[in-house]
Amino acid sequence: MDALLDAVNFRIKMGGEDVAVAIAQDHGSGEILMAAFMNRAALEKTIETGLMHYYSTSRQRLWKKGEESGHVQRVREVFIDCDGDALVFKVDQKGAACHTGHYTCFYRRLKGDGWQVVGRKVFNPEDVYRG
């Protein structure tokens, strides 16, 4: 597994870690679900478990997507870019990807001089995240 992980260029410095960009994309629809960061440990855990793990730059720790909400992402395919510093994960999304309750984190579109909500909300965050 070391050779596989060594192909990734964790060159971005964020939250005290060397990270790469991770994009989650719905395997079926192609819709972009979210963008986050991964350190080496997050990528290793993702490959080992088949479930998405990320590095939280704000909390400075590894986290499994859905650890609180149950809205996990099961990995179907993984792509790496030419520089090795960005990864695209085609996933099966359970529930919603966004902590706001929207299916995707990209639920707003620029319209005129403001942001218009265009994405669908699939859960109420107050029902899922306590405290």
Query: Which domains does the chain show, CATH number per domain?
Result: 2-97 (3.10.20.810)
Cα–Cα dist 118/103, whole Å: 11
pLDDT tens digits, residue range 29-66?
999 999 999 999 999 999 999 999 999 999 999 999 99
Cα–Cα dist 73/53, whole Å: 9
* pLDDT tops 80 at residue 28: yes
Joined tokens for residue 105: 């984190």
Per-residue pLDDT, 18 = 96
